[in-house]
Amino acid sequence: MGRSFAEKIDRRDITIGVIGLGYVGLPLVLAFCREGFRVLGFDIDEHKTKQLAAGKSYIKHICSDEICEINRLGRFEATTDYLRMSEADALLICVPTPLTPQREPDLSFVIATAEAIRAGLRKEQLVILESTTYPGTTREVLLPVLESSGLKEGEDFFVAYSPEREDPGNKQFSTTGIPKIVGGCSAESRIRAAHLYAQIVPRVVEVTSADTAEAVKLTENIFRAVNIALVNELKVVFQRMGIDVWEVVDAAKTKPFGYMPFYPGPGLGGHCIPIDPFYLTWKAREYGCSTRFIELAGEINVGMPDYVIRRLMDALNERGKSVKNSRVLVMGVAYKNDVDDLRESPSLVLMEELIRYGAQVSYHDPYVESIKETRSHPALSGMRSVSLNDATLSACDAVLIATAHSEIDYAMVVEHAALVVDTRNAAARAGAPLTKVVKA
């Protein structure tokens, strides 16, 4: 590694650009600012950049005081002007990598960002992709766009891949407490990226290539997706047998070796686990490989909302009601507890399906005041969270617990609701009587 670049990092004499100021990019901004670096944040959403300039956070688990602090120190500036990327010595790409409706990789955000960087690419810049993607993306998609500038990777500029490992709302593991995986398109790129990240994380794990680093991230999330699919399938089987899968898992996890607990739910949500397996299955076809195990897990997880709806329908039928015209309150629309993140949330799928069946659907979520526009569920945009009180609960034919936020009093929910369909075992964990509770 060139001594000057390493010395500049050590002296905090470089500017870092973070592209995409969401759940991945904003924590990186905070981490580098706290370590004394100047950071430029880029986002296409002017509302975000204005809020940050005003010292306000738009992510529930990131406190506005943290934004005010980096503003006070004068180390951070947020902008929508992508022409300023040439000011940064290192650019970290944290943009979305969703799926198309055909469940194929959508790299449009990565490509658009690469083209914006190319317009001002200069010698000695380091470009790092953090967005989750399939093996080969950095080398086959990002790199050719950048090299079309006429500059050469490994000599004029440097490209690496370091997958984000964010778990929004996890107080035990934050950005700066999780080891960072780094792979480069060249050895020099890997070394430079590793030295940069070593300033903010306890450990950097260097791997032989960007492809390998991309595969590491997919492996982590496919592992979770497959095991969640397994326990979701067990839930369906055990329910038919009259066995409580949550009791089974809680008992099984007392074994101190050879077992790791995973819990069932209404489907997969978040920015990675519902998407990553399909990235690998798509890429595997290029090599003539079948990923039957992964695809089966995907089918099981994607089918969970339908299973939950069937359980709700059966429970209403037993009470002499049909789902049509029934008033259903969905508890929790965020994809996981205690965050405001709606990405790929199964709650949105459940709500749309219930509406399609003719139910009168409302929701309560202390973290999501209103549902913002999403690509997959535009019909739900603008819906607002209703108050949670005795009258709201009593007016419903059924309450569907889709996300178990810790601040909700589930014993109170069960007390005043006519029927509770619980996909998270929240009522039982709260010690509520289960006579009106159907587990799903």
Q: Which long-range contacts (CB under 8 A, 24 or more apart) does 218-222 make?
A: 218/132, 218/134, 218/135, 218/276, 218/277, 218/279, 218/280, 220/165, 221/132, 221/272, 221/273, 221/276, 221/277, 222/276, 222/277, 222/280, 222/294, 222/297
**Farthest-apart Cα atoms in the chain, separation:** 76
For residue 171, the tally of other CB atoms under 10 A from its CB is 8
> How far from each other are the two terminal CA atoms of the chain, in whole angstroms?
55
Query: Catalytic residue among 33, 94, 185, 272, which?
Result: 272
Quote the crossing angle between the two packed helices 245-252 and 210-241, to the nearest 10°: 120
User: Domain residue spans in the chain?
Assistant: 3-211, 241-267+303-439
Residues 6+ apart with CB under 8 A from 108: none
Q: In a structure prediction context, what are the per-residue pLDDT tens digits for the chain, which is 440 residues long?
A: 656 899 999 999 999 999 999 999 999 999 999 999 999 999 999 999 999 999 999 998 899 999 999 999 999 999 999 999 999 999 999 999 988 888 889 999 999 999 999 999 999 999 999 999 999 999 999 999 999 999 999 999 999 999 999 877 777 788 889 999 999 999 999 999 999 999 999 999 999 999 999 999 999 999 999 999 999 999 999 999 999 999 999 999 999 999 999 999 999 887 777 888 889 999 999 999 989 999 999 899 999 999 999 999 999 999 999 999 999 999 999 999 999 989 889 999 999 999 999 999 999 999 999 998 887 899 999 999 999 999 999 999 999 999 999 999 999 999 999 999 999 999 999 999 999 999 99
Distance CA 20, CA 48 (A): 10
Residues 6+ apart with CB under 8 A from 417: 329, 393, 394, 396, 398, 399, 436
Q: Specify the 3-state DSSP secondary structure of 126.
A: strand
Distance CA 245, CA 227 (A): 14
What is the amino acid identity at position 51?
Q
Class of the 241-267+303-439 domain? alpha beta
Q: How far is CA 382 from the centre of its chain?
A: 22
> Quick check: is 33 catalytic?
no
What is the amino acid identity at position 309?
I
Domains 3-211 and 241-267+303-439 share a fold: yes
Q: Residues 107, 109, 110, CA angle at the centre, nearest 5°?
A: 65
pTM: 0.91
CATH superfamily of 3-211: NAD(P)-binding Rossmann-like Domain (3.40.50.720)
**CA-based torsion, 182, 186, 187, 191: positive or negative:** negative
Distance CA 228, CA 222 (A): 10
Give every strand in the sheet of 398-401, ordered side by side.
360-364, 327-331, 398-401, 420-422, 437-439
Distance CA 350, CA 48 (A): 29
